[in-house]
Structure 1
Amino acid sequence: MALTMLWKSNSAAACCAFFVFNRLRGFILPLLLFATLYPTSTIVYGQCPATGSYNIATSQNWTAISGLGTCSSALVTSGSTFNGNVSLSYQGGGSTVTFDLSSLTINGNLSITSTASGNVFALADNTTLIVLGDLGDPTNNNLSYSLGTGSVLVVTGTVYGKNSNTITGTGGTISAGSLNFTPGDLNCTSGCPVVSVSNCTDTGTACQANNSGSGVCTGNYGGSISASGSTSTCSSSLNPGTLTASGYSGTIIRWEKSTDGGSTWSSINNVNSTYSPGSISTSTTFRVVVLNTYSNSNNCVSNSSTLTVTIGGPGAASTITGSSTVCKSSTGVSYSVSPISGATSYIWAYTGSGATIHGTSNAVTIDFSSSATSGTLTVKGTNSCGTGTVSSGFSITMNSGTEPVLNSISNVSGCSGSTISAVTVTASAGTLSSISWSNSNSNIGLAASGTSSGTFQVPSFTASNLGLNPVTATVSVTPVGTCGSGAPVSYTYTIYPNNVTPAVSISASSTSITCGTSVTITAKATNVGGGTVNYNFKIGGVSVQSSSSSTYTTTTFGNGNSFICDITITSSNCLTKTTASSNTVTMTVTGGSTPSVNLSGTSTICSGTSDTFTATASNVGGGTVTYNFKVNGTSKQNSTSNTYATSTLANGDVVSCDISIAGGTC
């Protein structure tokens, strides 16, 4: 290992001599070197420290690490670049090193060793640390990371760790070529920072957040890449010259390259706006990743457009993905293959008939006619140098099944709080593979939508109705078969409030009329539980209409007539009883004649002899007369009969008769 050192001197000139050991020749050459050294604030070493590492025993800031500035002032000076490797080692656990420079670039590896738990490497708010190499220690790095608000940690190589390390700091950003935390994972605590990693295969939550959510810019700030030389050749290699990124907004946090057409990417050890890859023998795609900072606490990442350097013909096509079973007459069926290295276009072919392929990229759609046949789909890449190796065949089988037709579904009702059974759906034609359903009112206790396969059921649920009136919901069920969806079928749920008492009230179109005026009595029944209601209208206690009609109309009301309505409910749900009586309404009728009644009979009889009394009513307007015969004021017979016979009269008894008229006219 050759160690090159530069010294700082306050003198105008100095000279020095040192030996360089030549490993190839095995001897030492004396070399006399004269150099003019000027004062400088940056001293660059190949390794800091030259041997071993800086030991961290207590929590401290980066700039306070003993010996770090002695090794190189660049390591403790904001805006500097240190060309070499730096090694830190935590002695014990529970210590935090906080990077506190506004910015620093380490053109090498930052090795951090931590064998105990509880050690943290932190970036203070609004700081940027760029490591053009690897971070951590692949064997002894039991370390967690903390990113302050607005901080940026860029590692162009691999971030190493193990034993379930954690990273925190929702206002920070981490960029890396790859993560390697085996054994274990890198997991976020209290939210993830913006995570942008070229190759993130770790199973922790940090990789789950990679290039996702608010960490991806909604606008494109990545710009584009151009090359100073040619970018394609049919030869075996090519030097494209200098690649230049332009038109981006923000800071380049890494260059990336892909040799499989963009399916996977690897990081390049460069954060400058230019990059010279040298001679390339494999078709390679390049891009830059740009961090756009639009406030101290909000960062997002954009990728530039890509630049591909194409060497020779396209590479081999990989496996095609898409639907292997397709229904006839299907359109827009998608198929794709991973991007083929070096391909500028794609040639797709199908051995069956009745298929129309749309597109010449790595993703196409196919329309299949009603007479399409089964076949094999292939693809190969092409460019100006020729065509690549064709993919393996992807078999497509045509299915000629019919869309399913559902049987009708009966409506369902139930009480609030009860369990509503599942509804099973059947088909009268076609074959069901699944059903989907939607519910117009999830307040009844059934979810707003769902699917079912195998059982083909809308699920059971606990009914809910917190009001006083029934609530309904319409469920639409759509059948799904192997070759598409059939027409939906709908049914309803009616959920009644539980343990309610029915009621009925009546009103008249008028309660004060002249004789012969038509009057309509209207009954309004409530809380009937969805049952069938019979309305029994009564005048003076006598039924005049008993039917399902809630109205009764007549012109024969007499003055003082009173009426009510009794209801009886059948086939009801959730009621405390099935009958109810209404309020009483009394009529005032003017302009008619006054009814009268005359009573006749034998006033002198022998004790025990039967006597018959006859009541003759007049001016009853053709109405129905009820005769109430009384003895000494006590009713003995109340009916439509105008005669009353008795053999139980005693001396001095008084017999009388009152009449009431229903339905009579004036």
Structure 2
Amino acid sequence: SCAGTTIASSSFSSTPAGATYSWTNSNTAIGLQASGTGNVPSFTAINTTAAAISASITVTPTINGCAGNPITYTITVNPLPVIVSATVTSESVCDASDGTITINATGAAPLEYSINGGSTFLQNGGAFTRLAAGSYSVMVRNASGCTTAGPTLSVSSPGAPPAPEITAVISPICQGGTINITIANPDSLATYSWTGPLGFTANGTSMTRTNATTAMSGNYAVTARIGSCVSTAKTFSLIVDPLPVVTVPANMIYCAGASIPAGSFISTPAGATYNWTNSNPAIGLPASGSGDMPVFTALNSGSAPITATITVTPLLNGCTGAQASYTITVNPLPVVNLPANTVICTGATVPAALFTSTPAGATFSWSNSNTAIGLPASGTGNIPSFTAINPGSAPISATLTVTPMVNGCTGPSRTYTITVNPLPTVTVPVSFNACAGSSIPASSFSSNPTGATYTWT
């Protein structure tokens, strides 16, 4: 038997029946008293040594006063193995199944070891590896089949990994751009899972979403997993800002010298700021600027229209929207080319005045300061030919003011004059008779108006 077990009582019988018994024990170290009468009682086997110990039990029967021959049997008590130590190491990380138990024991070889309460024994020197987290019951069995139960050891797990930390979110995230978030200091043993709006999922130490839309704005989460252990989620919010769309004024046409009003831009969503460029500063506007377009005076010193393209770029929440353009055309002011001042006699035909302009193609309106010369007070187009009139005795003049217009632009008015001289009336001496050989005085003529020259026949 093994130390620590209960030895059942020994019941004797005799022939003839009815004997009484006395017995002796040669080795009380087994846990049985040195002697007794009747049957040997049950007892707990003891062996505090490292080797088996035996006791001889001698039984003497007596009946009717007659003692029979003694009979002897032995009880051997095998020692238990001694568990000197049992140590444990826990899993390195959750669900790694790399725990160990090491049992150090002494006893009759070969020793066998169990960590499942004796269900199975192994001759492995007491080293158990690759253990998952849990409780393990240590037991050692020696060559005699005697077992010693050791402690119940726990292989523990460090638990779930901590919630992951992410790198700072680069802001802004603009529509059409890329969302990229990375785990800060990732654990090489962990796997990471991401979730987000629109059913987004991803795995890895970073997550990327290209061609971002505003619908991708919202709450995101990432968890770390080691084996079957999952961390609490790290949650964060992202906003994908829309690209602003700018509405610019319609194309504009102005005349040189006109005041061009401020150009107000509108964005969707509202609140954008603006940068703009001007392809042709010759119109009087700087080459670039920010904000709304300022008021400026249109310039065109040439003879042909000039055009500038205004390109506007909206910026909202750090996001740059698509450019939009419109044009500003500045037409030059036409300059009318006039006839020279004209002096003509009353009754003469004044030829038509044919106007030209730079640039060509203007229309003309004109006014006449003195209709007495025979020309209406105003008109359009060229001035028609007319008969000059001056019923008086002194020259009369009219100032003709001509205003050109081309492409809706009115040029500066220019003037020239038409002077109509009256026909002179000569006053001659009265008729007279003279004798031949007499001296005839000179004949002096006078005119109205004065100053005429004369021819006579």
The TM-score normalised by the length of structure 2 is 0.34
Larger Rg computed on CA atoms: 2
**If the length of structure 1 is used for normalisation, what is the TM-score?**
0.26
